[in-house]
């Protein structure tokens, strides 16, 4: 194991590292950290707090994971960070632990977080997501699987970003982003379906056509959003339509009621 850990790295004796973990120069790993097999920790990385990292992750130089949240409500409780498998966490990414004791900031698996991404406390990042350079995620953000977040943009706290959505670079995201949509601008607007992302995900022609009908009902008709959501129930009952309806309903009626990015 000593051949995989650079002699300048500082690792707390109670930290739990699999024997295949590689640790670069001047990395610092704290007492409650657990790291699973085949994960690589780059130079000058800091990992602290109650942090658990899965299999096959690549964490590039100067990332900082599991440090206290930038939240004035934080009182020092034993909150957590959980990271899944096969993620790429690039240079200078920061991932803060949750605010309340027992709560978690969670990153799923097979994600790419490019350089200088900030993931604040209590965020939930699912699987297969790309977050480009310089993105700032405020607290309590939920990003569903296979979303693409363009570079140099900010996302407001508590925002929910739907599955396979695409956010254009330098946009301002202050409300929920529905699944399957392409959002861009400041102020942001739903511009179209994320056609490229949907094709890459392997959606059938039939499902694509139904989503196109849903888009026209939601953003190119004279219906109010509530009326358009009701009209979605008349479309063929594909899983993607079910998910879209549930997302929109929750955005309008849930605890936060932020509403969604408009189309006009």
DSSP of 19-36: TT-EE-TT-EE-TT-EE-
pLDDT at 253 > cutoff 90: no
Residue 1 scores a pLDDT above 60: no
Residue tagged 């309903």 (tokens): 249
Q: Are 66 and 33 in contact (CB under 8 A)?
A: yes
Out of 121, 134, 140, 168, the active site residue is: 121
Q: Using 50, 70 and 90 to split pLDDT, how confident is the model at 256? A: low
Inform me whether the pLDDT recorded for 264 exceeds 80: no
Give the confidence band of 126 by pLDDT, cuts at 50, 70, 90: very high
Q: What is the mean pLDDT of residues 176-204?
A: 96
Distance CA 181, CA 86 (A): 26
Q: What is the pLDDT, as a whole number, of residue 258?
A: 79
Tell me what pLDDT residue 115 has: 98
The domain made up of 10-140 has a fold known as: UDP N-Acetylglucosamine Acyltransferase; domain 1 (2.160.10)
pLDDT tens-digit readout, 4-61? 999 999 999 999 999 999 999 999 999 999 999 999 999 999 999 999 999 999 999 9
In the set 30, 108, 139, 150, the catalytic residue is: 139
Average pLDDT over residues 162-178: 97
Q: Is the pLDDT of residue 152 over 90?
A: yes
Q: Using one digit for the tens of pLDDT, what is the confidence trace for 131-145? A: 999 999 999 999 999
Q: Is the pLDDT of residue 257 over 90?
A: no
Structural domain boundaries in the chain: 10-140, 199-253
Q: Is 139 assigned a catalytic role?
A: yes
Model pTM score: 0.97
Quick check: is 122 catalytic? yes
pLDDT score of 2:
59
Instruction: Give per-residue pLDDT as tens, 91-122.
Output: 999 999 999 999 999 999 999 999 999 999 99
Active site residue 121: yes
CATH topology of domain 199-253: Udp N-acetylglucosamine O-acyltransferase; Domain 2 (1.20.1180)
| Distance (Å) of CA 122 to CA 23, 90, 208, 243 | 27, 20, 33, 23
């Amino acid at each position: 194991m000593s051949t995989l850990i650079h002699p300048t790295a500082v690792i707390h004796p109670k930290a739990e590292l699999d024997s295949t973990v590689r640790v670069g120069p001047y990395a610092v790993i704290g007492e409650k950290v657990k790291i699973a097999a085949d994960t690589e920790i780059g130079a000058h990385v800091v990992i602290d707090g109650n942090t658990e990292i899965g299999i096959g992750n690549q964490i590039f130089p100067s990332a900082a994971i599991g440090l206290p949240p930038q939240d004035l409500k934080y009182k020092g409780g034993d909150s957590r960070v959980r990271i899944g498998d096969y993620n790429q966490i690039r240079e200078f990414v920061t991932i803060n632990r949750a605010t309340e004791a027992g709560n978690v900031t969670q990153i799923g698996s097979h994600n790419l977080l490019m350089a200088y991404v900030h993931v604040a406390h209590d965020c939930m990042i699912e699987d297969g997501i790309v977050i480009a350079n310089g993105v700032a995620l405020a607290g309590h953000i939920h990003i569903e699987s296979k979303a693409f977040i363009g570079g140099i943009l900010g996302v407001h706290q508590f925002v929910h970003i739907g599955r396979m959505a695409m956010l254009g670079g330098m946009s301002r995201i202050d409300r929920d982003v529905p699944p399957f949509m392409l959002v861009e601008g400041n102020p942001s607007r739903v511009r179209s379906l994320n056609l490229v992302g949907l094709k890459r995900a392997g959606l059938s022609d039939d499902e694509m056509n139904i989503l196109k009908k849903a888009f026209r009902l939601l953003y190119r008709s004279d219906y109010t959003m509530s009326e358009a959501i009701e009209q979605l129930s008349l479309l063929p009952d594909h899983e993607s339509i079910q998910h879209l309806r549930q997302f929109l309903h929750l955005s309008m009626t849930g605890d936060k009621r932020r509403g969604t990015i408009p189309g006009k």
